[in-house]
Chain A
Amino acid sequence: MGAYMRQLCKGNVAIVKGAILAGCRSYYGYPITPASEIAEAAALYMPQVGGTFLQAESEVAAINMVYGAAGAGARVMTASSGPGLSLMQEGMSYLAGAELPCVIVDIVRGGPGLGNIAPEQSDYFAMVKGGGHGCYRNLVLAPASVQEMADLTVLAFELADKYRNPAVVMADGYIGQMMEPLDLEFREPEIPERPWAVKGTPETRKNLINSIFLEPDALEEHIRKLEAKYIRASQTEVRYETFEADDAEILLVGYGITSRILRSAVEMARREGLKASLLRPITLWPFPTQAIAEAAKKVQKILVVELSNGQMVEDVRLAVNGKVPVEFYGRTGGNVPSVEEIHSQVMQRVLALA
């Protein structure tokens, strides 16, 4: 095992470095702000390590190239932002239906429509609840730092393989564009055998990559099989982080860039003697339902903050199931709340408790 060193790295670049570390040698994509550095880094690095980078004619083509490469047994990825992800939804449904592992990165920008290129978290519904057709799930990871952009990309590849399902790394324009120290530890990637893949060999000649099940019973059986996989994932793959979790009166819940602002807000609140805490989902699907339900028992109020007009808050409310009030504060359009802004939101709500 080799050692590591720290490098100052951009979030979007860290994704590609993580992918290469994970043994990914196939990238198919299409540029879009604020995700383009991912394609640029892949174009620069992939061919140098014997890999493939191909700029597709569209996101539609890109995701289908990913589909082809995944079906052929490659560890493969693509990346885009909101509008591009909208175009990829068909392909993502096919990938899930055909049980193909791959990693899809969404550096979320403002929407709907062309929106703008500033950070939002408004793709939560599309990535977590599915934006494509049919009964399927994406495994969704939400990094909050440059280090996690690399680490969770590695994890995404592992989970994608473990469950033969697309895994999404969902960050926002800020995490994608910012630079922070990155520690990469060199290791030989562990890529599981893919005996089901179609490789153009005698051994794989009988293999079929497919998502058609004409008979209703056959399709239902297939969907049950996917469902069992999703249940297994939701029992074993939940990841989250807490901060100042003991003795809190108010719990803040947020992910990605928002969680960092919330962390600062919790520190600010604690300095003033307000008992605030933070729970940050790292996996958005599977969602830390149980952890939030447990946390809800210890606090009087929950405040969910998102860069949207309220998407994840629905999952928090489902988890809390009415035990304590779940309130929401969101900013949209690419506006990112300041720590002071969140602090005042926390203050108002804590004062209301008294």
Chain B
Amino acid sequence: MAAETKPDVKESEILAAGYQVSHSKSPLFYEKYERKGELQGQTHYCPGCGHGVAHKLIAEALADLGLQDKTIFVSPVGCSVFAYYYFDVGNVQVAHGRAPAGATGIKRTHPDKIVISYQGDGDLAAIGTAEIIHAANRGEKITVFFVNNAIYGMTGGQMAPTTLVGQRSTTSPWGRRPSNEGFPLHMAELISGLEAPVYVERVALSDNKNVMKARKAIHRALEIQRDGIGFSFVEILSPCPTIWAKDPVEARKWVAETMIPNFPLNVFKDKKHEPVENAVVPQRPVYEVLEISNAPVGPDAPIQSIPANAHDASDQSINTPAETAKLEDINAASAPRPHVHHFKEFEVKVAGFGGQGVLLLGQLIAEMGMRERLEVSWLPSYGPEMRSGSAHCHVCLSKERIGSPVISHPDVLIALNEISLRKFAAQVAPGGLILYNRDRLPADFPLPQARIVCLPASEIADKLGNTKATNIVMLGALLEETECLLLETADDVLKTKIKKVAMLEVNRKALAAGREFIDNYVRVGAVSQPDGFSY
């Protein structure tokens, strides 16, 4: 708050300067400013300060429009931080510069209420530039009153983003120098350059005539919000006698003679209501969106499940209720079979290039394990590692609660490319298995302690008409070779994951082809590594 230096000005002088002092208080103000603590009959603003006038114009407009009970007033940080002392409406005080963001959260919560963001130049045009530009650009249906007095009042006279070229302040003691501090920001012009704002005007509290124009602008801005039309913004050039070291009359004169030429008064924008086309979001019941069934579930009832990657933007298809019903039909027909697993814990690492379905294969194995009532975890490589073109994931299947989901020594490595084979083969547990996506090992590849089965999964998938089924060929091979999970479960999972009939057929064939390769082409006991099958 500015120091309370009160220039000695007589009311008669104010009147002589053409400014009507009105002693009546708006009914929208509190009778007594109890929150203020002391001097409850008057505001904390300095004599001649524009805030008092701006407050009064807003209060009158709200009263005229009958909006008192609907209004939420957002105070900023700055001299007007205590606006809530005065306005008898709902009040929220927000961090420096963040009022448009706070107002956004309020308005989105109560779209039919009147939300006002009242900000000074430091708050709106310096620290809060991002918030005001983006709230305006989103067309938030709020009203912003921007009080521009070209100086920092509360902190005692530092330079504002709107300080004029050559204007002195405590932090521009030689006057604002464009080469050092740049030029004053013209917020009304900036905001009006955006698509969404509906109403943008700059007014000035310089004389009676302009105060009347300000009153009209404030009224109009609030009407626009009341009618739900869009974002409205009124910049109010406002005197700050104390910091400017002028008496109130001189200060208003300075607004008229110095500020207005620099910040021209104008209605920059006054758009009619134009409905914007929005995509329609389907509304669904919560249990459906959360994919939880309302059907009773007992220990023997079918476990239903949904596509694990339903949230993936890359695989976007919001299920319609009809589709969901279909899913449920499929699920109902696919109760898990009793299966006594031959392991306590079974850990699989899948690795390859991005796009080979590495992460999906891991998810399928985890999904299958879950349907067979095992504890499962799936942990992917993520971020730039994925974007660099290689991907891997860890899948744990266990009869007991899973501790670490990070696998140091997988029982099985599914290597979809040579890099992955070279990188991870040595990690495989002794006696473990490596499924390698080629018909032979690289010539110089040292034999690890694990069995290696080479199968040209990509070639097999190619012959089936879709290289993308490489991972499913591998899944078939994994199931046939290890019997870790049931073929029927794989089929169930594929049915729920793949909605296109043709695609499902290809994947089923891929699954069978992977099994068949293990059954018919892998020679048990073969050891010739560089160019054949190793066992």
Interface residues of A (CB under 8 A from B): 2-10, 13, 17, 20-21, 26, 28, 33-34, 37, 40-41, 44-45, 47-50, 52, 54, 56-58, 60-62, 64-74, 76, 90-91, 94, 98, 117-118, 173-174, 177-181, 184-186, 198-202, 204-212, 214-215, 257, 260-265, 267, 336, 338-340
Question: Which of B247-255, B269-277, B349-357, B403-411 lies at the interface with chain A?
Answer: B403-411
A37-B311, A57-B134, A198-B106 given; A2·B292 CB < 8 A = yes
Bound Cα distance A67, B367 (Å): 39
User: Please, which residues of chain B bring their CB within 8 A of the CB of A5?
Assistant: 291-293, 297, 303-305
Given contacts A8-B363, A61-B134, contact A49 B289 (CB under 8 A): yes
When the two chains form their complex, are residues A41 and B311 in contact, meaning their CB atoms are under 8 A apart?
yes
In Å, the complex CA distance between A33 and B289 comes to: 24
Given A9-B308, A215-B37: A61 and B130 interface contact (C-beta under 8 Å): yes
Contact indicator per residue, chain B 282-326, by CB within 8 Å of chain A (1) or not (0):
111111011111111100000111101001010000100000000
Range class of the B interface residue count: 35 or more
A346 to B190, CA, bound (A): 63
Minimum distance in angstroms from B390 CB to a CB of chain A: 15
Contacts A5-B305, A174-B406 given: A65-B377 contact, CB under 8 Å? no
A113–B378 Cα distance when bound, in Å, is 29
Bound-state CA distance A221–B113 (Å) is 33
B94 within 8 A of A: yes
* Complex: chain B residue closest to A58, CB-CB: B130
> A90-B95, A208-B91, A212-B81 provided; 15 other pairs, C-beta below 8 A?
A5-B304, A49-B289, A52-B109, A54-B108, A57-B131, A58-B130, A64-B105, A67-B95, A68-B94, A76-B109, A177-B380, A179-B377, A202-B69, A263-B404, A339-B403
B26 within 8 A of A: no
Minimum CB–CB distance for A68 against chain B, Å: 3
Q: A338 with B406: in contact, given A8-B367, A179-B308 (CB under 8 Å)?
A: yes
Of chain B, the residue at the smallest CB distance from A42 is B311
| Chain B neighbourhood of A336, CB < 8 A | 406
Return 8 A-B CB contacts under 8 Å, by A number.
Answer: A56-B101, A67-B95, A68-B74, A71-B106, A74-B109, A117-B383, A118-B383, A178-B377
Q: Is there contact, CB below 8 Å, between B102 and A3? A: no
- The residues of B that contact A57 with a CB separation of less than 8 Å are 130-131, 133-134
Would you give the shortest CB distance from B401 to chain A, in whole angstroms?
8
A78, chain B: closest CB distance, angstroms: 10
CB distance from A83 to the nearest CB of B (A): 14
Nearest CB in chain B to that of A179: its residue: B378
Main secondary structure of the interface of A (DSSP, over half): mixed
When the two chains form their complex, are residues B311 and A10 in contact, meaning their CB atoms are under 8 A apart? yes
Confirm or deny: B370 has a beta carbon within 8 angstroms of a beta carbon on chain A.
yes
Evaluate whether A67 and B105 lie within 8 angstroms (CB atoms) in the complex, with A198-B92, A260-B404 already known: yes
Q: How far is the CA of A69 from the CA of B140 in the complex (A)?
A: 14
Known A-B contacts A184-B290, A215-B37, A260-B403; the reply to A48 vs B282 at CB < 8 A is yes
Bound Cα distance from A286 to B310, whole angstroms:
36
**Which B residues, 452 to 498, have Cβ-Cβ distances below 8 Å to chain A?**
none
When C-beta atoms are compared, the residue in chain B nearest to A176 turns out to be: B382
- Is B90's CB under 8 angstroms from A21's CB? no
> Top 3 A-B pairs ranked by shortest CB distance?
A68-B105, A264-B403, A200-B113
User: B108 and A8: CB pair below 8 A?
Assistant: no
